[in-house]
Amino acid sequence: MNSNAKWVDSAADEIVRSWRQSPDVILSVVGPTASGKTDLAIAIATRIFGEIISADSVQVYREFERGTGKPSAEERARVPHHMIDICDPHDAIDAAKFVTLADRTIEDVRSRGRVPIVCGGTFLWTRALLLGLAPIPAGDKVVRDELRAIADSQGVESLHQMLHSVDPASARRLHVNDLVRVSRALEVFRMTGKPLSSWHDEHAFRETRHPHRLIGIDQPRETLDVRVRARAKAWIEEGWVDDVRLLIRRSYLSSRAMGSVGFAEIAEAIAEEAQTGVPINTATLVDQIVRKTRVFVRRQRTWLRDKTMTWVSPN
């Protein structure tokens, strides 16, 4: 048994022993990207007849495969997974819609005598499902159409610059080409006069929608860095760049998923290659993806500062 399997099995055994004292509690496995969430969730699920509900804002999209961390076919055969490949890449899904769909899935899983386990790196979605959302106002089509017209005439970058001036926290979080989310953040500000990041801060979780236990994976930073680089390098070697070329040919360049870490950097490299004629340097591309992933991990760690978290460490 390798060291990874040892810590996963040890952690799963301890978590399950504790859970059996309160079996109505939903276990939720969270942690930074590449920390080992899927391995731990599967290990738990195999011990308690569990089924996994993914809380990942990229894995919900069909056709985006390599680079998303979706569980493999073998992993899905071992344990049923839900909320993966449920949306067309051009569909918009936010935390509220995720909660509605996940609630139905939880009910279905329990109706079959199985145990729902939430697992994913989009902690906003996890907290929205388990604890509730602040009442962010619904969209306004007039404002949305106005912002779309600005993007069409002046470029998506102009919207990102507008967002940076009114909501720098959201601007730092969102990729410049993520038209849907950038537009939504501006829409919320125009409608309420309050930045979307402030609304997120007010997801104050004054109630508990589902009794739960948060399980956080505390990978050492150095170990996580190695895992992030190894995964990015492997995906590139397996054909991630060609995957993104195909997605662009299918008109998914402006989709929400294309703005996620890795996909955005590859899309930019492809555009630069087309403009300059210089082939993509994959080693440089891996470095760029790793740097952006580190920034993403820092944001995830901020979200994971929850006093109720039960931490497990691979060491």
Q: What is the pLDDT, as a whole number, of residue 205?
A: 47
Q: Over 70: is that where the pLDDT of 101 sits?
A: yes
Question: For the segment 19-36, what is each residue's pLDDT rounded down to a tens digit?
Answer: 999 999 999 999 999 999
Co-location of 211 and 238 in the same domain: no
**What tens digit of pLDDT does each residue of 115-172 get?**
999 999 998 899 899 988 766 767 778 888 888 888 888 888 888 999 988 888 888 8
Which residue range is the domain that position 60 belongs to?
Answer: 3-135+204-219+307-312
CATH number of the domain to which 293 belongs: 1.10.287
Averaged pLDDT score across all residues of the chain:
90
Residue 208 sits in the same domain as residue 67: yes
103 with 181, same domain: the answer is no
Give the chain's domain count: 3
Q: Which residues contact 171 (CB under 8 A, 6 or more apart)?
A: 160, 163, 164, 182, 185
Same domain as 211, residue 90: yes
Residue 271 pLDDT: 96
Please indicate, yes or no, whether residues 78 and 146 belong to a single structural domain of this protein: no
pLDDT tens-digit map of 206-249: 557 899 999 999 999 999 999 999 999 999 999 999 999 999 99
Q: What is the pLDDT of residue 1?
A: 40
What ranges in 122-220 are assigned the alpha helix state H?
Answer: 123-131, 141-154, 156-166, 168-173, 179-192, 196-201
pTM of the model: 0.80
Q: Judge if 107 and 38 occupy the same domain.
A: yes
Q: Which residues, at least 6 apart from 184, have a Cβ–Cβ distance to it below 8 Å?
A: 94, 139, 196
User: According to the model, what pLDDT value does residue 116 have?
Assistant: 98
Confidence (pLDDT) at 200: 65
What is the pLDDT, as a whole number, of residue 281?
A: 97
163 and 215 both lie in a single domain: no
Query: How far, in Å, CA of 42 to CA of 60, rounded?
Result: 18
CATH of residue 195: 1.10.20.140
Q: Where does the pLDDT of residue 105 fall: very low under 50, low under 70, confident under 90, or very high at 90 and above?
A: very high
* Gap between the Cα atoms of 227 and 35, Å rounded: 8
pLDDT at 145: 84
CB contact at 8 A, 214 and 28: yes
Q: Which of 3-7, 46-50, 220-224, 266-270 has the lowest mean pLDDT?
A: 3-7
Same domain, 197 and 208: no
| Same-domain check for residues 14 and 119 | yes
Same domain, yes or no, for 174 and 243? no
Q: Are residues 118 and 48 in the same domain?
A: yes
Looking at the fold, whether 211 and 226 belong to one and the same domain comes out as no
